[in-house]
């Protein structure tokens, strides 16, 4: 654990938020964190159906044509996060930590590891043995123990959580997506994380029993706060004077 003094992180559970609005909320808190030096923020939410394309991806990783996606109600967003193409939708717990990583002396790699390990420990609490793959980003279930990345070969396990972040002026944006009760068929419309035929899974698929994102949100928030040496407190969006329209 870090030797820095314990600071506060506010957790906000926002329900289902359209991706563009969630991006505006992130930007508001990111700017606020940089300029005012207020407490860190963890936004927890679900998105409507959306495919996001990270800085390392291109539109060829979206396998369905735009008309098909439109008919299915799936939006497409190009984003400034790291990573490639991924899917967000109902039943997926999305976390956007707005963290002053520089003040905690965290490199981008160390910060991503903290996110991954918080998810691993959350899944362990739920009875799912999850792990990392050396050289890959994200969290996996099953497969070969102590596996290392092989270029051109997908890991042998099933990916249950994806991570893509951006750090600007020492403050993070974007974050993680944990498949809880997600309809996994939507991943078939993209090349997820740049890996053709990637095996994906969800908490519900691994447990074999129904579970909601709310069931996971408090666990993962507590795990992340502990790893960041933060004191977690829950807040509401109404507690903050948002300077962007139509977000409440």
Catalytic site positions: 193
H-type helices in the chain, by residue range? 19-36, 66-71, 108-125, 203-207, 213-227
Q: For Cα atoms 148, 166, 53, give the angle at the middle one, nearest 5 degrees.
A: 75
19/67 Cα distance (integer angstroms): 19
Cα separations (Å) of 24 from 11, 38, 53, 176, 238? 17, 18, 17, 17, 15
Residue 219 three-state SS: helix
Cα separations (Å) of 106 from 89, 178, 187, 219? 30, 23, 32, 23
Phi and psi torsions of 234, nearest 5°: -95, 140
Sheet-wide strand order for 50-53:
75-78, 50-53, 85-88
Burial, 194: exposed, middle or buried (Cβ in 10 Å; 0-12, 13-18, 19+)? middle
Question: Whose structure tokens read 């820095």?
Answer: 4
């Amino acid at each position: 654990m870090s030797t820095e003094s314990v600071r506060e992180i506010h957790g906000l559970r926002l329900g289902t938020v359209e991706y563009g609005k969630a991006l505006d909320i992130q930007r508001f808190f990111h700017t606020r964190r940089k300029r005012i030096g207020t407490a860190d923020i963890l936004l927890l939410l679900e998105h409507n159906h959306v495919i996001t394309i990270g800085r390392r991806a291109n539109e060829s990783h979206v396998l369905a044509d735009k008309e098909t996606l439109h008919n299915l109600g799936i939006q497409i967003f190009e984003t400034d996060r790291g990573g490639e193409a991924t899917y967000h939708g109902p039943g997926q717990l999305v976390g956007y930590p707005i963290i002053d990583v520089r003040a905690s002396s965290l490199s981008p790699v160390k910060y991503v590891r903290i996110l991954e390990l918080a998810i691993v420990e959350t899944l362990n609490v739920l009875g799912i043995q999850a792990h990392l793959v050396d050289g890959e980003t994200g969290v996996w279930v099953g497969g070969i123990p102590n596996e290392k990345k092989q270029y051109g070969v997908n890991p042998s396990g099933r990916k249950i959580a994806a991570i893509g972040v951006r750090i600007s002026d020492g403050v993070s944006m974007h974050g993680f997506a944990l498949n809880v009760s997600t309809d996994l068929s939507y991943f078939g419309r993209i090349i997820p994380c740049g890996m053709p035929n990637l095996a994906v899974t969800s908490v519900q698929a691994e447990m074999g029993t129904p579970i909601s994102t709310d069931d996971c949100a408090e666990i993962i928030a507590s795990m992340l706060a502990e790893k960041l040496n933060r004191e977690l407190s829950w807040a509401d969006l109404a507690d903050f004077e948002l300077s962007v329209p139509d977000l409440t």
